[in-house]
Structure 1
């Protein structure tokens, strides 16, 4: 059927906005749920593989595959079908989580190098899935209103907060039960597997049918974006865009990736440096370099929960307009000032008690989430559809590059202390 563009009037933008925001939040949660499950049940992995530094190694396995995949997608982003890309990503997440569950059951919860290698392979698949979904969703939502990106990015943080709180709950519930640590971990993996399946269903069948989503995707198509054609076809909108695209494309030349990078160099560096600082501390330092305190085995879990909750809360602050930092120079100063956290953590781990460390972790989480949302929502707003999609992928590449460098620097904390 031919759907006339006149049917997509501006008032339709008001239909389904809250539903779309809720789904974006769920998509964000599903995007990092797999990884946060792995990092949150780190205490179980340390019991299985005490000499293999799982918190650091698994992160270092995850990221190169994610970074390489997102780089390929960025180069070809204008020709990649966003719908297929995102659905493929959630399917890979589902397969990876389910396989981790089966792997643990098949080995009866035992450790060993071969199980560790198998787990690393599955974590690498999750990294590839992350590159499919995170870059694809940010690029897709950049075509729409900023609230959608904010909800998605908040969902990313919510996955960490949710898993941390659930981990504390399962640890309390199973602490005195035989194999309680493993039981809690299996519950986590089962929840994650079911949730990834839910994301597949929502993105494939419900999200594209919301009127506001149809509106923005049709608008992006008229501006020359080719990545949304499959989404429009999936909901029965076969618009005659060729002539519109030609007319829209002639007045202005589309910016290249290099031009977008140069115009948004400060934004990309902001995300890069945010992640460098954060991942040089979280989660490896919190598990291995904070010493022993009154909380005992609960201590690293409390620290991880504190980070994730503060990260989530801070991502809602930009919704209050006068609290949103829109100055590009101000964002750079804010981000650079976070490097002071590195010596602060070093001295607190040596001389401070657990109260000071918890407070410092709260600051780390807060100063991670808040500027990330500001950058993600501000950067794409002045561009048209194709540039927004490309910039969304570029921002995710910068973010993941920072994560990789941060994780590599995290190893410096253990060099020379006899545990390397």
Structure 2
């Protein structure tokens, strides 16, 4: 039987079946972990962007949605670039854990800023700058976590990358 063109594109020994027994994930625990990690690394961004109406109310002279997007994406791009350059000097599990800690800090900073400084008052732009810094910190965390999770899932069978992407999609739903 002659090989088909699509089978020539696959690496040798790569089977199309992703049976649970072949991966050793009998109870789908690794799948659930990768799904949860995919859910977790985009959830902070969704939290910031979902609350953009609140921030636009507090800071009416700022284009909050545009500033948040530019800061988050630019910091994330620079961070991912640096991780690519220096990934051989660190381990993925360290980057993931540091990134998750930075996510927690950035998400806790905003309600603390509001509770102790802004207190719902409109026009306190030092609070906006601090919130933008929290968005930037979240962008750094996203670069650390997303790059490491996608990279580690890419070394495993395809179903784990699917779990990460499904978790990412689920974070958009979970934030509403």
Do residues 149 (structure 1) and 134 (structure 2) align? no
CA contact (8 A) 2:72 2:138 kept: yes
Distance, in Å, in 1 between the alignment partners of 2:27 and 2:94 is 23
Distance, in Å, in 2 between the alignment partners of 1:126 and 1:134 is 11
Unaligned runs of 5+ in 2: 1-19
Match of 1:82 in 2: 92
Structure-to-structure mapping, 1:96-245, within 5 angstroms: 96-106=106-116, 107-111=118-122, 112-164=124-176
SS in 1 for 2:155: coil
Moved >6 Å (runs of 4+): none
Match of 1:28 in 2: 38
Distance, in Å, in 2 between the alignment partners of 1:96 and 1:150 is 27
Alpha-carbon distance, 1:79 to partner = 3.2
Alpha-carbon distance, 1:17 to partner = 5.5
Q: CA RMSD in A?
A: 1.7
Alpha-carbon distance, 1:12 to partner = 6.9
Distance, in Å, in 2 between the alignment partners of 1:45 and 1:12 is 49
Structure-to-structure mapping, 1:303-382, within 5 angstroms: none
| 1:117–1:154 distance in 2 versus 1, CA, 3 Å | same
Alpha-carbon distance, 1:35 to partner = 0.5
Higher RCO (Cα < 8 Å, 6 or more apart): 2
Distance, in Å, in 2 between the alignment partners of 1:15 and 1:63 is 35
Alpha-carbon distance, 1:103 to partner = 0.7
Larger Rg: 1
Distance, in Å, in 2 between the alignment partners of 1:49 and 1:133 is 30
| 1:69–1:54 distance in 2 versus 1, CA, 3 Å | same
Residues 157-215 of structure 1: per-residue CA shift (max 9 Å, x gap): 21111112xxxxxxxxxxxxxxxxxxxxxxxxxxxxxxxxxxxxxxxxxxxxxxxxxxx
CA contact (8 A) 2:99 2:142 kept: yes
Match of 2:8 in 1: none
Aligned length: 155
Aligned match for 2:73, one of 58, 63, 66: 63
Residues 80-132 of structure 1: per-residue CA shift (max 9 Å, x gap): 21111100000000011111111111121223211111111111000000000
Structure-to-structure mapping, 1:237-316, within 5 angstroms: none
Residues 305-325 of structure 1: per-residue CA shift (max 9 Å, x gap): xxxxxxxxxxxxxxxxxxxxx
Alpha-carbon distance, 1:46 to partner = 1.6
Alpha-carbon distance, 1:40 to partner = 0.9
